[in-house]
Structure 1
Amino acid sequence: MSEFAMSDENESPCHYRRALEIVSSKWTVLVFYELESGKKRYSDLKKRVEGVTQKMLTQTLRQLERDGLVVRYVYPTVPPTVEYELTPLGETLIEPMRTLHRWTDSHYDSVLQARRSFDRQNA
């Protein structure tokens, strides 16, 4: 079972927890950044999302499709051409993700400095 997979019966009543599960995966965020500019073929996503395995990309895209954030198009070519695109619901997550990205750009050096200080004090 993937890190995302959860049966509906096991869903937490806390919607915030589920929202965090969606956006806390680095692969989800990286896929979103790639799809922000429009529809992409699976093979292009695989090339552009550095470090993702085929299995993890497939699991991520399936979960995003299940959550209604991505739509999958299959074209009857040989081999089949598969493309993905953000849904209107998925597009609503772009701005919060941009905000998190801006926060990271502005504050990550402070996080690293705090980690070093903590590690020195607790060594």
Structure 2
Amino acid sequence: MRLLSGISGGHLQRYFISAIFAPNIHLHQREVTMTKTTVSKNQYADSRDFMTSLLFRKWTIAIILSLGAETKRYSALHRSLPGVTQKVLTEHLKQLERAGIVRRFFYPTIPPRVEYELTKTGLELLKLTGDITMWFDSHSEALHKSQKTYDKKRVTVLRRL
């Protein structure tokens, strides 16, 4: 693998995420060639890296919460997440399915029908996301107050400069 130079932090994170799912990628006209065996040996050296690359993407938690403990058709899931594009939703669902969090059911009918549900692992994750949501709800007022206090201090400091 060639050394990547001139790539910002955000692009670097996207590179590593892309490298896991698309081993032969182009990034800003720089070709990076990786073999699947190299990626699979090194892709999850740290479980925190895996967690952040999968769970802390913009729509992942929303998808898990939307699926809940029920099976949903793709169109119903898409409607329940205003603002997400079909491309992004499909990409996230594939990654969650690959990680064993979501199970996909394809029915070869006319028109084709696709349904998604959380696996046992996904249901455990749902409970955790529910706990995080409850924590945020119980602390949101204090968090917002802290942000306002910080912002006021920051503005005061900037005015002095």
When normalised by structure 2's length, the TM-score is: 0.69
Alpha-carbon distance between aligned partners in 2 of 1:120 and 1:11, rounded to the nearest angstrom: 42
Give the C-alpha shift of residue 69 in structure 1: 0.7
**Which residues of structure 1 form unaligned runs of 5+?**
none
CA contact (8 A) 2:69 2:118 kept: no
State which structure, 1 or 2, has the greater radius of gyration over its C-alpha atoms: 2
Q: Report sequence identity in percent.
A: 36
* Bigger relative contact order (CA 8 A; separation at least 6): 1
Question: Which amino acid counterpart does residue 65 of structure 2 have in structure 1?
Answer: Y
Q: Sort the Cα spacing of 1:90 and 1:38 in 2 relative to 1 into closer, same or farther, 3 A.
A: same
Aligned to 2:50: 18
Give the alignment of 1:8-47 within 5 angstroms: 8=40, 11-47=43-79
Give the C-alpha shift of residue 13 in structure 1: 1.4
Give the alignment of 1:52-63 within 5 angstroms: 52-63=84-95
Alpha-carbon distance between aligned partners in 1 of 2:18 and 2:121, rounded to the nearest angstrom: 20
CA contact (8 A) 1:71 1:87 kept: yes
Give the C-alpha shift of residue 121 in structure 1: 0.9
Cα RMSD over matched residues? 1.9
| 2:125 alignment partner, one of 93, 102, 119 | 93
Give the C-alpha shift of residue 78 in structure 1: 1.8
| Stretches of 4+ aligned residues off by more than 6 angstroms | none
